[in-house]
Chains A and B, each alone.
Chain A
Amino acid sequence: MAETVFFYIFTSLMIAAALLVVFHRQPVYSVLSLLVVMFCLASLFVMLGAYFVAALQILLYAGAVLVLFLFVIMLLNLAPEALARMRIFTLRTIGTTAALVLLCILWTIVRASGERLSLSNAAPADGTVESIGRLLFTAYLLPFELVSFIILAAIVGAVTLAKQEKR
């Protein structure tokens, strides 16, 4: 029953923090609530046996990506009223309705298809560093090498964009 308790604690905290990300007016607080979402998600990953991915989640997302976000928000130093504005009311209503319809559709699909798979009788696949690394360098070697090209392209793109043009 410990799993049930921890699932509901972490999920409710995660959803509350996600709502705060979307609806908070100050972007710095939004980034910090996204940090809470990341940590709750990492603990849920640990509950599902994905230890290595949980560590990556904290190291890469919370450690690198969100710090980059905070850095840029503080660098730009925007006026508060420019940040808080949302879209006009009709667009906002249409967007929220569309997302809620999608949520209903997704829940119906999940409810219809997810019953056949239960977590208790499945063979636990522990995502330790050893098992993930072994798979990564045998079956998934080509995607692993290709992903380095994406990172190279991102580095070159960021440097090119950030370079000051000479007049």
Chain B
Amino acid sequence: MITLTHYLMASALLFCIGLIGILIRRNVLMILLCIELMFNAANFAFIAYARALGDLGGQIIVFFTIIVAAAEVTVGLAIAILLSRQVKTLNADEVDLLKW
């Protein structure tokens, strides 16, 4: 029998895989991709709770999250294109313009 715990555990696993990706990869594009993975894990938990509590509010929050993620990706990819065009690198460790 599949309970809410199973869904939440799958969601936590997906979230931590995305976190590992953010901490391991250095490419800006890959970091953005892993952020998407973590967004989806959070959405998954919201949908599971929406079902368990019989409340549609969780699904509406996922609707908003998807829109915000789309906006975030648009700006993030524009910044990535600018980085490769002006700083000539996509390595997150080499982009230290704001450090000094």
Which A residues are closer than 8 A to B by beta carbons?
A: 3-4, 7, 11, 14-15, 18-19, 21-22, 27, 30-31, 34, 37-38, 41, 44-45, 48-50, 52-53, 56-57, 60-61, 64-65, 68-69, 72-73, 75-76, 78, 82-83, 85-87, 91-92, 94-96, 98-100, 102-103, 106-107, 110-111, 114-115, 117-120, 122-125, 127, 131-132, 135-136, 140, 143, 147, 150-151, 153-155, 157-158, 161-162
Contacts and interface: CB of A to CB of B under 8 A. Distances in A.
Contacts of A106: 12, 15-16
A142 B78 CA distance: 29
The residue among A22, A83, A87, A100 with the most chain B CB atoms within 10 A of its own CB is A22
B13 A161 contact: no
Contact of A15 (B1, B10, B72): B10
B33 A50 contact: no
B62 A50 contact: yes
Nearest to B39: A61
A4 to B, nearest CB: 5
Given A37-B14, A41-B44, 8 more contacts: A53-B66, A69-B73, A96-B20, A96-B24, A98-B23, A110-B9, A151-B67, A151-B70
B90 A56 contact: no
Contacts of A154: 70-72, 74-75
B10 A122 contact: no
A53 B59 contact: yes
Contact of B90 (A15, A41, A78, A99): A78
Interface string B46-84: 011011111111011011101111111111011111101
Given A31-B33, A37-B37, A119-B2, A15 B17 contact: yes
Tier of interface size on chain B: 35 or more
Nearest to A120: B1
Contacts of B57: 135
Contacts of A158: 74-75, 78
Given A99-B23, A132-B60, A64 B6 contact: no
Contacts of A83: 27
